[in-house]
């Protein structure tokens, strides 16, 4: 069980404006309520955060596919299972091929045949998401393909996504996606997990499965590895939910 550093407030303790924003947003289950419940400790900050997210989602100039790719890559770079899982779903809804989604979590995203705009964007995300300013050559490359407002939006989009990832990771806020657990006692060392998702699974000195990281992002490739395991040693567990049951609302993604 994850212990959050700041316990999310239950919805009935949220300020009205934040509750209204939740009702105007899409149903995203436990992760969304834990995120909003955490922000609810600081209502003015929560409103500002959510208004920025709404502008990026509703009034953004970047096309939706590019926006999702940038956020998937940011979430991968900053190791945010919550953001990664959310945007894998959004990307699927937009018809982004599974191979493209998986490539955003590759050590070198160049393994996929991106458009020139997408390839340049992903290279920019790799730098921006870790706080590195873009070098001249990449900036000029982007400036040839994007308008000035689009460039500005890309910088802010990656920064906003990085803010969400870093905040949730630092606070240990439970996300909306599943988490991964491995049962080494059941592992028969067949190795499908390691060959399918080497960024997540490894063999220990006894040849038994172990996690490369304590809290890996749950990606489509990780799900495939779990499905392929012949001994059922990989478990995807339901998300931790600290507040009220998930609700059904209509709207759009905010982070």
Contact positions toward ligand SF4, by CB under 6 A?
187-193, 209, 229-231, 233-234
What's the farthest any 2 CA atoms get from each other in the chain?
Answer: 56
- Closer residue to ligand SF4 (CB): 100 or 193: 193
User: Could you tell me the sign of the dihedral formed by the alpha carbons of 43, 48, 49, 55, in that order?
Assistant: positive
C-alpha 70: how far from its chain's center?
A: 10
Q: In whole angstroms, what is the distance from residue 36 CA to residue 210 CA?
A: 33
- Closer residue to ligand SF4 (CB): 135 or 230: 230
Q: How far is the CB of 192 from ligand SF4 (least distance, A)?
A: 4
Q: How far is the CB of 199 from ligand SF4 (least distance, A)?
A: 14
- Closer residue to ligand SF4 (CB): 94 or 188: 188
Q: How far is the CB of 208 from ligand SF4 (least distance, A)?
A: 7
Q: In whole angstroms, what is the distance from residue 221 CA to residue 195 CA?
A: 10
- Closer residue to ligand SF4 (CB): 106 or 190: 190
- Closer residue to ligand SF4 (CB): 188 or 244: 188
Q: How far is the CB of 225 from ligand SF4 (least distance, A)?
A: 7
- Closer residue to ligand SF4 (CB): 136 or 214: 214
Q: In whole angstroms, what is the distance from residue 102 CA to residue 85 CA?
A: 12
Q: How far is the CB of 240 from ligand SF4 (least distance, A)?
A: 23
171: Cβ–Cβ under 8 A, 6 or more apart, which residues?
A: 4, 5, 6, 38
210: Cβ–Cβ under 8 A, 6 or more apart, which residues?
A: 182, 184, 201, 202, 203, 204
Q: In whole angstroms, what is the distance from residue 158 CA to residue 44 CA?
A: 22
Q: In whole angstroms, what is the distance from residue 150 CA to residue 199 CA?
A: 32
- Whether residue 231 contacts residue 190, with contact meaning beta carbons closer than 8 Å, is answered with yes
Q: How far is the CB of 165 from ligand SF4 (least distance, A)?
A: 28
Q: How far is the CB of 187 from ligand SF4 (least distance, A)?
A: 3
- Closer residue to ligand SF4 (CB): 99 or 227: 227
Q: In whole angstroms, what is the distance from residue 128 CA to residue 181 CA?
A: 31
């Amino acid at each position: 069980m994850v212990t959050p550093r700041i316990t999310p407030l239950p919805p009935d303790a949220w300020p009205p404006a934040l509750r209204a924003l939740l009702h105007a947003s899409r149903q995203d289950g436990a992760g969304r309520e834990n995120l909003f419940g955490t922000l609810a400790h600081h209502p003015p900050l929560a409103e500002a955060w959510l208004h920025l997210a709404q502008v990026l989602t509703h009034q953004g100039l970047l096309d939706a596919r590019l926006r999702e790719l940038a956020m998937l890559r940011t979430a991968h770079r900053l190791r945010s299972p919550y953001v990664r899982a959310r945007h894998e779903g959004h990307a699927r809804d937009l018809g982004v091929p599974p191979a493209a989604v998986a490539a955003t979590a590759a050590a070198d995203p160049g393994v996929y045949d991106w458009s020139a705009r997408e390839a340049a964007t992903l290279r920019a995300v790799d730098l921006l998401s870790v706080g590195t300013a873009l070098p001249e050559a990449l900036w000029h490359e982007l400036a040839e393909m994007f308008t000035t407002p689009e460039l500005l939006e890309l910088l802010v989009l990656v920064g906003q996504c990085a803010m969400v990832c870093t905040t949730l990771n630092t606070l240990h806020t439970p996300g909306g996606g599943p988490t991964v657990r491995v049962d080494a006692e059941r592992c028969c060392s067949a190795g499908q997990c390691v060959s399918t998702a080497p960024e997540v699974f490894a063999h220990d000195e006894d040849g038994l499965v172990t996690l490369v990281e304590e809290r890996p992002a749950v990606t489509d490739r990780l799900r495939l590895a779990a499905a392929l395991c012949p001994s059922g040693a990989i478990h995807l567990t339901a998300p931790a939910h600290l507040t009220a049951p998930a609700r059904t609302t209509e709207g759009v993604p905010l982070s």
